[in-house]
Amino acid sequence: MSKLLAHIRLMRPANIITAIADILAGLAIASTGYQFIFSDTDYFWAAELNGAGWLILSTIGLYGGGVVLNDVFDAELDKKERPERPIPSGEVTVLSAASLGIILLFLGVLCAYQVSTLSAMLALSVAGLAVIYDWLGKHHAFLGPINMGLCRGGNLLLGISIVSEKVFEFWFVAFIPIVYIAAITTISRGEVHGGKKSAFNLGIILYIAVILSIFLITWFKEGNWYIQIPYLLLFSYFIFPPLFNARKTLKGPDIGKAVKAGVIALIVMDASIAAGFTGWLYGLFVLALLPLSLFLAKRFAVT
């Protein structure tokens, strides 16, 4: 049982919930979000809900596989910097973790293929980008954050791909999670040895850009921009206080809290997007994932 729990720890359960929120936001952008919880038509339950389920399973595999392989590639470094993690602590072998990561990525692509070829291509791209990040990308100061952001942007597009043509209509929305994750990744670089104010200043700018982009995209698409305001205020409440505190202290533990808050707040960001495209009720449906993610974050590592 302890071995199973150690493998689950590798998958970062709280983070996986945020990846599911990406898919739900994608469904809203594809205009199937409302029906996802309210439709009672036979067509919907046979097609849209089935597709949503496969995409949720896909993102679980993709995200879980990506973070597991991250620990595989970091096994030697973690012996020095994070010996409490499952691999350096001896709870999980490198071979076992690598096998789990590869299987999860494969299942992620396979599940996406059940929806469409485009979904499978997006899933394969996310899987490839995740491996590149784990192997090389995270060691590059500039390209690393972009690499990680592309993984998240691809995950949002994966949700939109439930209606293939919508991907080509709303491809630009993927830049929102790309910029946001790039900000978090930039901030997280000081988590072990302490950070620099320049990184936090950039993070603040990128966070503000994300909030404005969410609002403006909905505005120009004549969506429910006014409904987004309470969601965006909640989003700001989650991300800015711990970020400003970390900028003040520049200490690793405080930076870790800012990164953790940024990751968990992805659910609130996705709820903001969903509310703008589909309405406040579906936004609350996405936001309902937040308590679950917070619960898991208390029991499993987020970073």
CATH of the domain at 245: 1.10.357.140
Confidence of residue 45 (pLDDT cuts 50, 70, 90): very low
Confidence of residue 43 (pLDDT cuts 50, 70, 90): very low
**Which residues, at least 6 apart from 56, have a Cβ–Cβ distance to it below 8 Å?**
20, 23
Residue 222's pLDDT is 65
Q: Which domain holds residue 113?
A: 2-297
Tell me the pLDDT tens digit for each residue of 273-302: 999 988 888 999 999 999 999 999 888 877
For tokens 């619960």, name the residue: 295
CA distance 119 to 91: 35
In angstroms, how far is CA 112 from the centroid of its own chain? 17
CA distance 285 to 275: 9
Confidence of residue 44 (pLDDT cuts 50, 70, 90): very low
Helix or strand run (H / E) with residue 225: helix 225-249
- 247 inside domain: yes
* Averaged pLDDT for residues 48-69: 93
In angstroms, how far is CA 233 from the centroid of its own chain? 20
CA distance 115 to 53: 9
- 302 inside domain: no
Tell me the pLDDT tens digit for each residue of 137-196: 888 877 888 899 999 999 999 999 999 999 999 999 999 999 998 889 888 876 555 667
- 303 inside domain: no
Q: CA Rg, the chain, in Å?
A: 18
Lowest mean pLDDT among 36-45, 56-65, 282-291: 36-45
- 193 inside domain: yes
Distances 263 to 16, 72, 95, 166, 293 between C-alpha atoms, Å: 10, 21, 28, 26, 10
CB count, 10 Å around CB of 122?
Answer: 27
Confidence of residue 252 (pLDDT cuts 50, 70, 90): confident
- 73 inside domain: yes
Length of the chain: 303
* Averaged pLDDT for residues 198-210: 91
Tell me the pLDDT tens digit for each residue of 83-128: 889 999 889 999 999 999 999 999 999 999 999 999 999 999 999 9
Confidence of residue 237 (pLDDT cuts 50, 70, 90): very high
Higher pLDDT, 45 or 223: 223
Number of domains observed in the structure of the chain: 1
Residue 34's pLDDT is 47
Helix or strand run (H / E) with residue 49: helix 48-73
Mean pLDDT of the chain: 89
